[in-house]
Amino acid sequence: MSVSEGGRTDVPYEERTRQKIRTWCKRVISHLQGVWRQQVNLGFVSPHIVPNFFSLVRATVNSGNWLCHPFGRTAYAF
């Protein structure tokens, strides 16, 4: 049965793709949390704030520590 016949309602995926996405997310979150800790150590943010994802991204972008190359290349800095 093909997808066009409408027999399946779930989305097909490979387990390896899921693992790659999960690994990428862990690396990005780790980077964002590292930037947050750096900002706490420099005194730019309060150590008493528990940041959400939006706050982590904002602190990373505003500090110039975003993951992409500063000259517009699309490769990540990892």
Sequence spans of domains, the chain: 15-78
Q: Count CB atoms within 10 A of the CB of residue 51.
A: 17
The 10s digit of each residue's pLDDT in 11-55 is: 666 778 888 888 888 888 888 999 999 999 999 889 999 999 899
Write down the pLDDT at residue 71: 53
Write down the pLDDT at residue 36: 92
Bridge partner list, 76: 68
Asked if residue 73 has pLDDT above 60, the reply is no
Write down the pLDDT at residue 51: 92
Rounded to whole angstroms, the Cα distance separating 6 from 24 reads 32
Does the reported pTM lie above 0.75? no
